[in-house]
Amino acid sequence: SQTIHQWPATLVQPVGSPLSLECTVEGTSNPNLYWYRQAAGRGLQLLFYSVGIGQISSEVPQNLSASRPQDRQFILSSKKLLLSDSGFYLCAWSSGSRTEAFFGQGTRLTVV
């Protein structure tokens, strides 16, 4: 069966520090991969999605970047965090936009 792993669950980082959040998927190949951010009590904002290795689509210009070095690995990064980067980050995978998506448990990022 397919599983998705996202870590860490919580993270507290100072302003200006780098960020690396990792997401891996098991049990499937060539998945679509997504990074979302959710502000407290709000909906999900699509940040990046990827349909293959090295293929990244960015939805919102910001100081975050994403990479897909392997088929089932999706990484969200920042060189210098801002206070406004605080939020709940969710990774998800699907077989395509015409099927359901499966979500990781999320990372609560607090930038202080």
Partner 1 sequence: SQQGEEDPQALSIQEGENATMNCSYKTSINNLQWYRQNSGRGLVHLILIRSNEREKHSGRLRVTLDTSKKSSSLLITASRAADTASYFCATGSYNNNDMRFGAGTRLTVKP
Contacting positions for partner 1 (CB under 8 A): 6, 32, 34, 36, 41-46, 49, 51, 57, 59, 88, 90, 92, 94, 96-106, 108
End-to-end CA distance of the chain: 38
Structure token pair of residue 6? 């996202």
Residue in this structure with the two tokens 């607090």, named with its chain if needed = 110
Name residue 7's amino acid.
W
Beta bridge mates, 18: none
Provide, rounded to whole angstroms, the least separation between the CB of residue 37 and partner 1. 11
**Nearer Cβ to partner 1 (65/106):** 106
**Nearer Cβ to partner 1 (41/69):** 41
Provide, rounded to whole angstroms, the least separation between the CB of residue 43 and partner 1. 4
* Rg of the chain in Å (alpha carbons): 13
**Nearer Cβ to partner 1 (79/107):** 107
Provide, rounded to whole angstroms, the least separation between the CB of residue 66 and partner 1. 13
**Nearer Cβ to partner 1 (23/81):** 23
- Give CA separation, 45 vs 30, 56, 69, 112, in Å: 23, 16, 23, 22
Provide, rounded to whole angstroms, the least separation between the CB of residue 44 and partner 1. 4
Structure token pair of residue 79? 């060189």
